[in-house]
Structure 1
Amino acid sequence: MKNKEDYTTKQAILNAALDLMKDEGIKRVTIRKIAKIAGVNVALINYYFGSKENLISEAIQSLLTSLKDTFTIFDDPSLTSTEQIKGFLLQYARIFQQYPFIAHMVIQENPLIFKSQMEYFDFLNAIGMKKFKNAISEASGEKDPKRLTIMMSHLIGATLLPNLIDPIYEYVTGYPFSNNIETQVDILIQQYFSKSC
């Protein structure tokens, strides 16, 4: 029973840290704010994580693990390659929508998250992007690796960019992207893979 309680408390602390990072940014995170949101005392946070830096690092690691998990959809043989791509883009975009700071965080060199970043990039290089490219190749019939890389960039960029610049995007276009991820991905999939839809 104690292990389950420990897990639940630790997860509540991680969730509070993520919520705080989402709302206020990483630099404004404090142990006291996290403790208040999680409903625990500061000593308990130190017991589980040892320091604010370790807590932030573990919270970031959990987010990057969620991003890695989105690639498992490419292992589902019950879905067509087009369905896999659509499902992946939707899951990926929802994580970025929920935690928009992650995009800036992943591309910055920050010693707090450097190890997590490198593990994530290694995963993308070794496994993730290959799965994505294979699905694109199967859905489109394209075989050229350079063209597949460009197509992959287009799909991710077209899905994530409006999300990352949502306030500006809505102001300039009058159209709020954040409420229309599914519509955006549907249009993108139709444009890229209309022959296979």
Structure 2
Amino acid sequence: MVPRNDAKKAIVDATIELIQESGGNIEELTVRTIAERSNVGIGLINYHFQTKENLIEVSVQQIIGEVISKFKPDMNGNLNRIEQLKNVVKSVADFLAGNPSVARISILGDFKTPKTFDNTMQTVKGFGLSLKDVNFPDKDKTLLMFMITSVLQAVFLRRELSEELFGYQFDDKVQRDRFIDVIMNYMKWEGTDSNE
């Protein structure tokens, strides 16, 4: 058995491994399987996390946090800042489409218990890096990046309705990219030189 003071980390690590092995299909995970993988008793899982849902949310937030910290978008120097930002937004949308279970848990977790540095705000910050050299007030830049993030999350969470309303299939890369182009083109980029 894992020593009690190491148990919480062992439980989260085991849960992350199982989530990744299942391809994000969290319905397959059981507390018993997590306990066996982490080499702890079920009671210790309940003590630290109360519910399987809480444990999965903590684990998914850690997965997404690691993805965000390693995310290095292709910043093509031949593109203006807005086109570079579009590429970054498309990369994040590709992650959402490719990891729907994990992404859904992360987004809904951020909605449920918003924090200054949750995954949503880390995404906002990451988008802002695309415009870091642009002469644009930071608060306005953050607001624009938050708007982009919010639209992306809403369209992802409501994929079927979004397709019905807007005519774009989020799960189709070409249509998803086209939708992002439309959204980005409607944004007001006053104060930026999109030719930079």
TM-score bracket for the superposition, by shorter chain length: 0.5 to 0.7
From 144, 156, 159, the counterpart of 1:151? 144
- Map of 1:105 onto structure 2: 109
Structure 1, residues 39-62: CA drift from partner, whole Å, max 9, x if none? xxx664132897374963334311
TM-score, normalised with respect to structure 1: 0.58
Once the two structures are TM-superposed, the CA of residue 16 in structure 1 deviates from its matched residue by 4.0
- Unpaired segments of 5 or more residues in structure 1? 1-9, 36-41, 110-116
Helix, strand or coil at the partner of 1:176: coil
From 48, 51, 62, the counterpart of 2:45? 51
Helix, strand or coil at the partner of 2:195: coil
From 148, 152, 157, the counterpart of 1:164? 157
TM-score, normalised with respect to structure 2: 0.58
- Map of 2:95 onto structure 1: 95
Structure 1, residues 18-53: CA drift from partner, whole Å, max 9, x if none? 6233xx4xxx85235xx4xxxxxx664132897374
- Map of 2:131 onto structure 1: 136
Taking the aligned partners of 1:186 and 1:176, their CA distance within structure 2 comes to 14
Helix, strand or coil at the partner of 2:145: helix
Taking the aligned partners of 1:154 and 1:29, their CA distance within structure 2 comes to 34
Q: Which amino acid aligns with 1:121?
A: D
- Cα separation, partners in 2 of 1:188 and 1:171, compared to 1, 3 Å: closer
- Cα separation, partners in 2 of 1:175 and 1:48, compared to 1, 3 Å: same
Counterparts of 1:67-86 in structure 2, within 5 Å, are 67-70=68-71, 72-73=72-73, 78=77, 80=79, 81-86=81-86
Q: Is the 8 A contact 1:163 1:177 kept in 2?
A: yes
- Map of 1:60 onto structure 2: 61
Q: Which amino acid aligns with 1:186?
A: D
- Cα separation, partners in 2 of 1:31 and 1:142, compared to 1, 3 Å: same
- Cα separation, partners in 2 of 1:157 and 1:142, compared to 1, 3 Å: farther
The alignment's C-alpha RMSD in Å is: 4.2
Once the two structures are TM-superposed, the CA of residue 82 in structure 1 deviates from its matched residue by 3.4
- Map of 1:182 onto structure 2: 177
Once the two structures are TM-superposed, the CA of residue 66 in structure 1 deviates from its matched residue by 1.2
Structure whose residues are more often helix by fraction: 1
Once the two structures are TM-superposed, the CA of residue 89 in structure 1 deviates from its matched residue by 1.0
- Unpaired segments of 5 or more residues in structure 2? 1-13
Structure 1, residues 133-186: CA drift from partner, whole Å, max 9, x if none? 353364xx5522332223212322333321121122223345423322211223
- Cα separation, partners in 2 of 1:17 and 1:60, compared to 1, 3 Å: farther
Once the two structures are TM-superposed, the CA of residue 90 in structure 1 deviates from its matched residue by 1.8
Q: Is the 8 A contact 2:128 2:141 kept in 1?
A: yes
- Map of 2:6 onto structure 1: none
Aligned length: 163
Taking the aligned partners of 1:170 and 1:43, their CA distance within structure 2 comes to 40
Q: Which amino acid aligns with 2:45?
A: S
Taking the aligned partners of 2:120 and 2:148, their CA distance within structure 1 comes to 19
- Map of 2:25 onto structure 1: 20
Taking the aligned partners of 1:48 and 1:182, their CA distance within structure 2 comes to 45
Once the two structures are TM-superposed, the CA of residue 105 in structure 1 deviates from its matched residue by 1.4
